[in-house]
Amino acid sequence: MTGTGGVPEGADYELAARAHAVLRGEGSTLAVAESLTGGLLAAVLVDVPGASRTFRGSVTAYATELKASVLGVDEGLLAVHGPVHPVVARQMAEGVRRLLGATYGLATTGVAGPEPQDGQPVGTVHLAVAGPGGSLVSSPRLSGERATIRHGAVTAALELLVGRLPSGADTH
């Protein structure tokens, strides 16, 4: 959705703008690793004017083997638990942070449907943010159609990031 002058608006845009403002204020950068959201999170982040000052880039590792070979997710963990697991999300966030040389890494993995995957029900979502103070994982349970779950995961990931940033909760 766009507002006047073709500038995007909405909750996700506002969260992304807040994140960029905090990152810019502390001289920090962000990299994103996406599976479930397939590039939607990066798209929202780059909708914000000036995003290039804080956004390093993203890796869409949709295939399980790419989570290991590109992002450094433990192959044993993937073999035992599959790609939809909170530790996978954490390792994706840590991996993209390291790979792209960012202050923070943000990751999404889960099952958008329409069918369960590897024994995980539709709506299972794991998100993680990794930064200087360590990593934080969130596992919201989302419901609805595939697109609703994917967009809900973007919102939840941005909320996790903003809440994790040092002054993110106070920035409006």
Contact yes or no for 119/93 (Cβ under 8 A): no
| pTM confidence score | 0.93
User: Could you tell me if residue 16 is inside a domain?
Assistant: no
125: alpha, beta or left? (left if phi > 0; alpha if psi -120 to 50)? beta
Question: Which amino acid makes up residue 102?
Answer: A
Contact yes or no for 53/17 (Cβ under 8 A): no
User: Could you tell me if residue 172 is inside a domain?
Assistant: no
Q: Which residues form the domain of 156?
A: 30-164
User: Could you tell me if residue 126 is inside a domain?
Assistant: yes
User: Could you tell me if residue 11 is inside a domain?
Assistant: no
Domain count across the chain: 1
Among 112, 136, 137, which Cα is nearest to 124's? Answer: 112
Q: What is the CATH number of the domain that holds 93?
A: 3.90.950.20
pLDDT in tens, the chain (172 residues): 444 444 456 999 999 999 999 999 999 999 999 999 999 999 999 999 999 999 999 999 999 999 999 999 999 999 999 999 999 999 999 999 999 999 999 999 999 999 999 899 999 999 999 999 999 999 999 999 999 999 999 999 999 999 999 875 554 4
